[in-house]
Structure 1
C-alpha cells in the first residue's frame, strides 16, 4: 500500500542544514513501471516535447538530527516520474519566489512540458540531479528558469504528493529591484507578480496554489 500524501518533515531550515546522502546503488523499478515510463517518454516525443530521459533522484528516507534535515537518495530513471499514479518516489524541488515586498512570482508552464503543462505555478522547480542536494536544486532552478539570484533562501518542507513524488519546497526572497531584471525561459509562456496577500490573487491562482502559499506565509524565517 502506497504511503499517504502529506508533509513528511517541516522546517524551516537554512540550506546548509539540509544534507543529501546518496546511495551508490541505482533503483531497479518493477517491470510494469519501466514499461509505463517507456510509454510516457514515447508519448512526449510524439507531441514534440524536447524532454529527454536520463537519471534523477529517488527518495529513500529522511531523518531530523540536531536541527538538520538529512535526506537519503539514490539514482533512478528520470522517466519514472511520468508514470500515472506512481512516480516511484522521484524527487523534485520547488523554489517559491518572493519579491522584496512579498509579492509572489507566478509562471504559466508551456504546453510542451511533461508535467503540469498550461498551468500556473509558483516560482521555479524541477528534478533533483544526481549528486545534488535538493537545497542546491532550488537556487539552480531559479537561475535556469528566471535568471534570478536570491538574497535569502530557506527550505520549508519535505512533501509527499498524491502520485508518490517527493518534493522539497523552499522559498527564495529577491533583493530590491530584482523583479524588474527577470528573464523568462522557454518552460513558461507567461508570468506575473501576484500580490503579497493571497486574498488578492487573480482567478487563475487555483486552490492548491493558494493553500501552499498560505502554508509558506505562516512559516517563520529559518
Structure 2
C-alpha cells in the first residue's frame, strides 16, 4: 500500500491570538466548472448515505506571511463542499485544536461514521472549517466548546500546514484546567485520554496522529 505524502509545514509558531492577523477578501472564490461538479457530487454522496452535513460558506487561504511579529493570513469565502473534492480542496482552511489536560495527556476521539471527513477514525482534540469572517485562532476554541463542551485556560497557535489534497490546516494546542471534564458531541462515538508519552499510545493512534503530536511536543 502506498503511503500518503506527509503534510507540508508552511509556517511554525508559537503565536498568541494577537499575533494572528486575518484579512478577508470580500469576493468569494470562483472554482472551475469541473470542480463545482465534483463538489456537487461529493455533497450528494454524503446525503445519500444519511449524513446531515450541509453545504454552506467556509474559508479559503489566499496567501500568508510569517514574520517575527506573527502570522498574517489572507482569506476569502468559498463554498464549503469544495473541501470534499478528491485531490483538490481548493486551499480550504480548517483549524485543529489539539487538546491536553493538566497532566499532559492527549484528548482523542473516534469520529462518527456519518461525518464527511475521517469517518470512523481517531483524531486529536477538536477541529472544523473556519467560518466566514472568523480568525482561525478563534475557530480553535469555538470547535473545542462545540465538540467537547469545555473551555481551555491556555491556547497557542502552533503551525500552518498544507495537506496533500490541497487543504490547509491551522493547528493550535490547548491546555485544560485541572479537573476539567469533557463531554463529547455526536461527532464522536468514543473518546479517550492518551498518555503524555506518545510512544505509549494505543494501536489505534495511527502514524499521522503520532507525527502531529511529535511536532507539537
1:104-123 Cα distance to aligned partner (Å, 9 max, x none): 00000000000000000000
Secondary structure, aligned partner of 2:83: helix
Residue number in structure 2 paired with 1:84: 86
Residue number in structure 1 paired with 2:40: 38
Residue number in structure 2 paired with 1:220: none
Residue number in structure 2 paired with 1:208: 208
Secondary structure, aligned partner of 1:7: strand
1: CA distance between counterparts of 2:91 and 2:67? 22
Equivalent residues in 2 for 1:29-178, closer than 5 Å: 29-178=31-180
1:186-222 Cα distance to aligned partner (Å, 9 max, x none): 00000000000001100000011001101100xxxxx
Residue 64 of structure 1: how far off its partner (Å): 2.1
2: CA distance between counterparts of 1:144 and 1:63? 30
Residue number in structure 2 paired with 1:9: 11
1:58-85 Cα distance to aligned partner (Å, 9 max, x none): 0000012442100000000000000001
TM-score by length of 1: 0.94
Q: Is the 8 A contact 1:25 1:74 kept in 2?
A: yes
**Relative to structure 1, is the Cα distance of residues 121 and 5 closer, same or farther in structure 2, using a 3 angstrom cutoff?**
closer
Residue 5 of structure 1: how far off its partner (Å): 4.5
Q: 2:24 is matched with which residue: 22, 25, 29?
A: 22
1: CA distance between counterparts of 2:66 and 2:87? 28
Residue 47 of structure 1: how far off its partner (Å): 0.3
Secondary structure, aligned partner of 1:153: strand
2: CA distance between counterparts of 1:109 and 1:102? 22
Residue number in structure 1 paired with 2:3: none
1:113-167 Cα distance to aligned partner (Å, 9 max, x none): 0000000000000000000000000000000000010010000000000000000
2: CA distance between counterparts of 1:150 and 1:49? 30
Residue 20 of structure 1: how far off its partner (Å): 1.0
TM-score by length of 2: 0.96
Q: CA RMSD in A?
A: 0.9
Residue 15 of structure 1: how far off its partner (Å): 1.7
2: CA distance between counterparts of 1:18 and 1:49? 34
Secondary structure, aligned partner of 1:28: coil
Matched, 1:183 2:183: yes
2: CA distance between counterparts of 1:141 and 1:75? 19
